Structure 1
Amino acid sequence: MRSGLRETVAVLAGVLAPLLLALALIPFRTSVTHTNLALLLVVVVVAVAALGSRLAGAVAALSAAAWFDFFHTEPYQSFHIQDRADVETAVLLLVVGLLVSQLAARARTLRRVAVVDASHLERLHGTTRLARFSTSADDVVRRVRRELAEVLELRECRFEYGALVGRPPRLDPDGSVKVAGWIWDVDRQGWPDGEIELRATVHGRYEGRFMMTPAPGAAPPPLEARLVAVDLAAQAAAALGHFAPQRS
């Protein structure tokens, strides 16, 4: 499911799920304490936030507080609250719902980051093993080309041996991108037009360069992905340096 559609569904769930639960609990509003009713509504807020986003969680918290007020505090079917204890419960429901929704959304974000980091580590580990045990530098270069295409969402990636020619945009070791000597704001502007150069160097020794063409409309890669790309290129450079005697 695309992120935009998922967000829309989550926000709608944030509006409707607390309403439906509040309606289902109407027969029990005289036999269950308002505190317990509020806790049940908080569970719905957590579920929406875990599946959606901070926005969806915030909408669910607001919806839960509103429908708790409307259906479960006197006078019923009114947003006016007479009892001070009910006012405090409604306010606490809103505050706790907002806090818990933020924590749930943050936990989901951290889980996603952990998955991405594990994927990057697997790429680097696999390439390192190939560079160590392969009998051909070309195998390592082909592996790095594939990995770069995936981690940076490239349309094409080729490798050039030999001397540097021209001054294309360049991905530097610190993850920044330079165009004509100036730092390009990748996070805000996306990739620059044309091919981007990534030099394969190790211990200051130049072995070649990867020429990368981003896929049309691809999101700008985060700094972590660009640094992984730099490390992958260094692995290729190390393999090329190791096999240099055989190539010459």
Structure 2
Amino acid sequence: MPRFLNRDLVAVAAALVVPLAVAAMILPFRAGFSNTNTALVLVVIVVAVAAAGNRVAGALAAVSAAVWFDFFFTQPYQRFTITKAADIQTAVLLLVVGLVTSQLAAWARRLKVIAITDADYLSRVHGIAALAQTARSPSTVINQVQDQLTELLHLRGCRFEYGTLLGHPPRLEQDGTVTVNRRHWDVERRGLPDREIELRAFGNGRFYGRFMLQPTPGTVPPLQARLVAVTMADQVGHTLDVAAAHGGRR
């Protein structure tokens, strides 16, 4: 099970359990603890759960917090009923603020993941470009790109074919989309096709070869990853073009 899926499942469980546990901890001090302060404590719990998990966990935590606030801290106690107008307002505000802040916390977490991912993509592209400048042979760059593509797209395997265009396999296009029999393939919904996909390498408008990608069933590499893959293939095409200008492949 992927690490992020595990994390989200734990966050959902925490969304259901932690607000109840915190409410139970505050309960002995109910007489000297205002309902406003109790609501603020529960909002903090909601934000923490959302930041650790996702929007679903944050929303569940907000609902859970509002329910247990009603049950333990509004009269009549131990009943899901509120009689005081002030308590109704506090409970509603707790739910609304909890929902809003949980969404913001989850959004902030997503932005952090995207930033880290983008930095990783940039590092990969920079590494291949630097290698292309220093490598003595295009094969060195090709081998490194094969490894990078395998990791980046979660492939079972990857190989490079020089100059051949045999067959009509699915293709990873320059814009990051995938076509099968010249028709658009919905990667986000269906994942990569369950057969080899070609990624062509061009240099100065000339076709030099293609990477044959062997997808792992069920994987859905994001568009950014696919665009990075295309960029790496272009770098290989450029490297082969430079080598050809200096007397052929080395």
Structure 1 window deviating more from structure 2 (168-177 vs 185-194): it is 185-194
**Where does residue 47 of structure 2 map in the other structure?**
46
SS of match in other structure, 2:247: helix
SS of match in other structure, 1:246: coil
Aligned: 1:70 with 2:61: no
Separation in 2, partners of 1:209, 1:68: 61
For normalisation by structure 2, the TM-score amounts to 0.94
**One-letter amino acid of the structure 2 residue matched with residue 82 of structure 1:** T
**Where does residue 242 of structure 2 map in the other structure?**
242
**One-letter amino acid of the structure 2 residue matched with residue 78 of structure 1:** R
SS of match in other structure, 2:217: coil
Aligned: 1:93 with 2:87: no
Alpha-carbon deviation of 1:4?
A: 4.1
Separation in 2, partners of 1:23, 1:53: 25
Sequence identity percentage: 54
**Where does residue 180 of structure 2 map in the other structure?**
179
Separation in 1, partners of 2:175, 2:134: 28
**Large movers: runs of 4+ above 4 Å:** none
Q: Residue 75 and residue 54 in structure 1: after superposition, are their counterparts in 2 closer, same or farther (change >3 A)?
A: same
**Where does residue 156 of structure 1 map in the other structure?**
157
Aligned: 1:130 with 2:127: no
Q: How many residues align?
A: 247
Gaps (5+ residues) in structure 1? none
Q: Deviations over 1:88-131 (max 9, x none)?
A: 00000000001111111111111111111111000000000011
Residues 203 and 239 of structure 2 are in contact (CA less than 8 Å); yes or no, is this contact kept in structure 1? no
For normalisation by structure 1, the TM-score amounts to 0.95
Gaps (5+ residues) in structure 2? none
Separation in 1, partners of 2:138, 2:37: 66
Separation in 2, partners of 1:162, 1:41: 63
SS of match in other structure, 2:78: coil
SS of match in other structure, 2:31: coil
**Where does residue 14 of structure 1 map in the other structure?**
15
Separation in 2, partners of 1:58, 1:162: 54
Q: Deviations over 1:46-72 (max 9, x none)?
A: 111111111111111111111111111
